[in-house]
C-alpha cells in the first residue's frame, strides 16, 4: 500500500466504499472503516488514515480492483477475479496465496498471478506443458500482439486453422504482464473465449444452433443443410470433442435436438458452429451422397484389426508418435507397409476393385 492509495480512499469515502470485505461508510459526522477484522466509526480524517494504514491489504486490494482494473461488470474484470479466485477467498487468503503464486489453467494456457508492489498483480502466461520451466529457457514476450504469432503454428511448424485446437506451441512465456495485457494476450491466443465465458456466466450467451447456421450458408456451402442428424453427430464427434477443440460445444442440431457427441470439459463455451466445422460438414455431405456397397475382402482377423488400428491412429493424430521399432502397434509404419505389400494389389485392398462393374 502507498500514500496515493490512502489518498484515493479518503476521496472515495465521500461516496462510500464496499469491496471484498472493506466497507467505508461516511455519514457527514465522520468516517467509518470496516473489514472482517476491525470496525471503526465516527473517525476523524487523521484517524481514518491511520485505520487505513493498519489494514494495508484491504486498501491496496480495493485500489487494484477499482483504480487499476476498473470496469466492474466487464469480461476483463470478471476474468482477472477468476484468475485469483476472488469470489471464493477473502483478501488475507488471497494475499497469502498470491505471495506464492496462484495458478489457473485456461485451455492449454497456464496463468500464474502474483503480488507486485503495493498490491498490484503481475501475471505469468505460458503453455501448461512449460509449467515449472525456468524463464530463461523459454522465449520471452512482452507485447500481447505477439501472441497472434505464437498461435499461428504448432510445435511441428504446421499452420493451425483452429485457434482452440489443443496444438498450441510450447517454449514461450510472458513472464510479467499487467492485468489488461494478460486478457489481451489470452484473447489473441483463444479469440472471444473470455468474452463468451463471461456472457455464459451472466446467462447471456446467445447460441446459434447448426440448422440456423446451415440455413445462412450460400454458394458451395449451401449444401451443408443436407447433413442428417446422425451425420451431424458424427461431425461433432470428429471435430468438436476435447481432443480436437478445447471449446465446450453449446450448440446442437437445434434447440430441441441435442447431439450425443461429448460437449467437452473446458471453461469456455462454443456458441455456434465455426467455419472449420462448416467446411468439414460440406465434405461430409458430399461423402454421404454415395450409396454403400458390399465388398468381400480376404484378411486374417489380425489384419482386420490392424486396419481398424490404422484408422484409430490417424483419427487420434498419433501416427507420428508410433516408434518404428514398435511392431506390436498395428499402425506401425513397417506393419502398414507389410500389409500393403501382402494384401494390396493392382485394385487396392485384397485386390478388390472399388467398382467391380468396370472390370468385366
Ligand atoms: S464448432 Fe466445434 S470445432 Fe468449431 S470452435 Fe466450436 S467446438 Fe470447436
Q: Which of 212, 243, 238, 214 is nearest to 227 (CA)?
A: 214
120 and 222 inside one domain: no
In the predicted model, is pLDDT for residue 161 greater than 70?
yes
Q: Please report how the helices 193-201 and 75-83 are oriented relative to each other, as an axis angle in degrees rounded to 10.
A: 90
Pocket lined around ligand 1, Cβ cut-off 6 Å: 162, 164, 239-240, 245, 247, 249, 270, 273-274, 276-277
Measured in Å, residue 278 CA sits from the centre of ligand 1 at 10
For residue range 280-294, list pLDDT tens digits in order: 999 999 998 889 999
Asked whether 288 and 227 are in contact (CB, 8 A), the reply is yes
User: How many structural domains does the chain have?
Assistant: 4
Classified as helix, coil or strand, 265 is coil
Say how far residue 124 (Cα) sits from the centre of its chain.
16
279 and 347 inside one domain: no
Confidence of residue 223 (pLDDT cuts 50, 70, 90): very high
% of residues, the chain, pLDDT over 70 = 100
* pLDDT value at residue 360: 66
Mutate to test the pocket of ligand 1, among 224, 277, 284 (most ligand atoms within 8 A of CB): 277
Domain boundary (178, 201, 224) is at: 201
Beta strands across the sheet bearing 109-115: 102-106, 109-115, 121-127, 172-177, 139-140
Asked whether 83 and 111 are in contact (CB, 8 A), the reply is yes
- Ligand 1, residue 264: give the atom nearest the CA: 7
Other residues' Cβ atoms within 10 Å of the Cβ of residue 102: 21
Domain boundary (68, 87, 115) is at: 68
* pLDDT value at residue 31: 87
Over residues 265-273, the mean pLDDT reads 95
Long-range contacts: 210-213, Cβ < 8 Å, 24+? 210/251, 210/252, 210/253, 210/254, 210/273, 211/253, 211/254, 212/254, 213/251, 213/272, 213/273, 213/278
Over residues 317-338, the mean pLDDT reads 94
For residue range 18-59, list pLDDT tens digits in order: 999 999 987 777 889 999 999 998 888 899 999 999 999 999
Measured in Å, residue 16 CA sits from the centre of ligand 1 at 45
- Ligand 1, residue 275: give the atom nearest the CA: 4
51 and 138 inside one domain: no
Q: Is 295 within a domain?
A: no
Q: Is 53 within a domain?
A: yes
77 and 190 inside one domain: yes
Q: What does the mean pLDDT of the chain come to?
A: 94
246 and 283 inside one domain: yes
For residue range 72-124, list pLDDT tens digits in order: 899 999 999 999 999 999 999 999 999 999 999 999 999 999 999 889 999 99
The whole-model pTM stands at 0.90
* pLDDT value at residue 276: 97
**CATH number for the domain that contains residue 223:** 3.30.70.2320
For residue range 62-74, list pLDDT tens digits in order: 999 999 998 889 9
Domain boundary (46, 68, 90) is at: 68
**CATH number for the domain that contains residue 139:** 3.30.1360.190
Domain span holding position 96: 71-201
48 and 29 inside one domain: yes
Q: Is 296 within a domain?
A: no
List of residues 6+ apart from 301 with CB closer than 8 A: none
85 and 62 inside one domain: no
Measured in Å, residue 191 CA sits from the centre of ligand 1 at 12
136 and 195 inside one domain: yes
Give the dihedral sign, CA 133/137/143/146: negative
Asked whether 212 and 169 are in contact (CB, 8 A), the reply is no
Give the dihedral sign, CA 35/72/82/201: positive
Amino acid at each position: 500500500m502507498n500514500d496515493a492509495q490512502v489518498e484515493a480512499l479518503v476521496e472515495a469515502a465521500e461516496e462510500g466504499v464496499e469491496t471484498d470485505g472493506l466497507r467505508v461508510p461516511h455519514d457527514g459526522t465522520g468516517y467509518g472503516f470496516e473489514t472482517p477484522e476491525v470496525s471503526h466509526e465516527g473517525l476523524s480524517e487523521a484517524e481514518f488514515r491511520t485505520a487505513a494504514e493498519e489494514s494495508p491489504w484491504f486498501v491496496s486490494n480495493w485500489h487494484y480492483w477499482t483504480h487499476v482494473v476498473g470496469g466492474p461488470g466487464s469480461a476483463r474484470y470478471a476474468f482477472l477475479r477468476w484468475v485469483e479466485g476472488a469470489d471464493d477467498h477473502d483478501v488475507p487468503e488471497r494475499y497469502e496465496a498470491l505471495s506464492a503464486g496462484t495458478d489457473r489453467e485456461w485451455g492449454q494456457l497456464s496463468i500464474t498471478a502474483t503480488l507486485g508492489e503495493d498490491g498490484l498483480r503481475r501475471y505469468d502466461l505460458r503453455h501448461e506443458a512449460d509449467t515449472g520451466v525456468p524463464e530463461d529457457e523459454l522465449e520471452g514476450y512482452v507485447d500481447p500482439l505477439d501472441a497472434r504469432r505464437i498461435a499461428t503454428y504448432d510445435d511441428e511448424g504446421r499452420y493451425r486453422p483452429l485457434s482452440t485446437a489443443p496444438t498450441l506451441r510450447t517454449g514461450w512465456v510472458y513472464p510479467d504482464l499487467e492485468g489488461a495485457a494478460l486478457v489481451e494476450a489470452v484473447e489473441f491466443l483463444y479469440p472471444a473465449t473470455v468474452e463468451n465465458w463471461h456472457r455464459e456466466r451472466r446467462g447471456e450467451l446467445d447460441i446459434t444452433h447448426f440448422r440456423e447456421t446451415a440455413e445462412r450458408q450460400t454458394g458451395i456451402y449451401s449444401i451443408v443443410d443436407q447433413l442428417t442428424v446422425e451425420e451431424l453427430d458424427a461431425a461433432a464427434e470428429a471435430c468438436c470433442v476435447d481432443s480436437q477443440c478445447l471449446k465446450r460445444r453449446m450448440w446442437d442440431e437445434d434447440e430441441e435436438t441435442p447431439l450425443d457427441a461429448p460437449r467437452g470439459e473446458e471453461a469456455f463455451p462454443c456458441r455456434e458452429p465455426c467455419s472449420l466445422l462448416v467446411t468439414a460438414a460440406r465434405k461430409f455431405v458430399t461423402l454421404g451422397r454415395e450409396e454403400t456397397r458390399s465388398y468381400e475382402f480376404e484378411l486374417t482377423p489380425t489384419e482386420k484389426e490392424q486396419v481398424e488400428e490404422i484408422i484409430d491412429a490417424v483419427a487420434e493424430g498419433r501416427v507420428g508418435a508410433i516408434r518404428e521399432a514398435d511392431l506390436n502397434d498395428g499402425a506401425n509404419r513397417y506393419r502398414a507397409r507389410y500389409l500393403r505389400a501382402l494384401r494390396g494389389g493392382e485394385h487396392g485392398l485384397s485386390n478388390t476393385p472399388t467398382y467391380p462393374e468396370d472390370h468385366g
